[in-house]
Structure formats: C-alpha cells, structure tokens
Copies of this chain bind each other. A is one copy, B any other.
C-alpha cells in the first residue's frame, strides 16, 4: 500500500548460494570508482537527503521518497561496471607463469581448445609437459584464476556453446566481485558519495534490483504520504 512493489526477479538458488559464499573483503569507496557512462535510464533527477542508520540512503526523486539499500545499489553498479568493461576481461600478463596441475583429460581439453581459450584471455604455454598460464583476465585474482579456469575446462568438455557458458562464468565472477567490494550496511557515506551512487544508478539498465534480485529501493510517493496524513479528502 505505502510502498510501490519493486521489480524483484526470483532469486535462483545458485545466486543465493553465490551471495552466501561471496564473503566480504575490502570495500571500495563509490567516489574512487570510474563513473558509469552508459545511457540514462528513465529515472528522474535524484537528490540525496541523508543516510539513515548508516545503511540506507534517503533520496528525493521528483515526487517520490526513495529509501535505498546502499549495499544493494552499489553492488548493482559495480556489477554493471565490471560486467561490461572490456578492460576487466583483457588478458593481463603474469609476472611469473602459473603452473596448472591438470590431469590427462584436462590437458587434452586445453590442447583441443587452445585458440578459443586464448581469445577468452587465457594465454597458455606447454613447458616440460605441463601447462603454464602466462596471462589471465585482469579481473581474476589469486586462487580465483585457477578455479575459474578449471570450471571453464569442465564446460568445454560438455556439449553446448562454450562462449555462451563463458558469459555465465563472466556473470558469476562479476557477481562475486561486485558484492565483495560494495559498501556494506553500517558503512558511513558522505553526501558526495551518495550523489555519486545516484548518478551511477541513472546509468544502469535495472536500477530497482540488486544483482541477486533483491530490491535496491523502497519507494514512497508524496501522494501516498499525503494520504496517510489525511491531507486528501
């Protein structure tokens, strides 16, 4: 009644699981990140009024009051930036090659799909019968690389287009990184940081749902407030 129901696509169990295990490491300050440059969506100009309980951003958006979950919004913004950034998926040369500990079946897969893997940002060399990773997508870090690569081989071994599967793998990685770096509940934000998040919010295709399908915002129209307070009729 008071709140307009936000667009909340159902959460797949894989996504729930993902979120549960994504962990929460270093938090990026919204203002330190690259502003989004996509086309404007149909959101109106938004003015941050204040932060509530260090977790929600109170926003005047034309004739609506928005209560925005800062973590959910930042996560969505980070996801969009990461997912659609060519740079994040560019191969980055490793300082020292990573030796992959592959079994015979996996080695055969690398051999068979060498060119395809190269296009996906994984540069591989065979040295003394072992496969070494000399470059990997910029976005992947530490143990993530190995896990991602092994999963990818598994996908290549199965039927179905490997590129399509790569898209879902990219999603997976972008999800995890988006969540990890996003501001949390109980993080204090400055007004400029809130403004920056709202600017980015106007450049993402689905501003009303976080990447896990939960709502980013609770919307309360001035009209429904006036009604609540008996200002009508």
Interface set of A (CB-CB < 8 Å, partner B): 1-3, 49-53, 55-56, 58, 60, 63, 65, 67, 69, 72, 185, 212, 214-215, 218, 220, 222, 225, 228-231
Q: Which of B69, B222, B230 contacts A53 (CB 8 A)?
A: B222
Closest beta carbon of chain B to A45's beta carbon, Å: 14
In the complex, what residues of B have CB within 8 A of residue A72's CB? 229
In the complex, the answer to whether A218 meets B228 with C-beta atoms within 8 Å is yes
In the complex, what residues of B have CB within 8 A of residue A49's CB? 49-52, 58
In the complex, the answer to whether B185 meets A214 with C-beta atoms within 8 Å is no
In the complex, the answer to whether B231 meets A215 with C-beta atoms within 8 Å is no
20 A-B contacts, Cβ less than 8 Å apart? A2-B2, A3-B228, A49-B49, A49-B51, A50-B58, A52-B60, A53-B60, A53-B63, A53-B65, A53-B222, A53-B225, A56-B225, A58-B58, A65-B67, A67-B225, A69-B231, A72-B229, A214-B229, A214-B230, A215-B228
Kindly name the residue among A50, A56, A212, A214 whose own CB sees the greatest number of chain B CB atoms within 10 A: A50
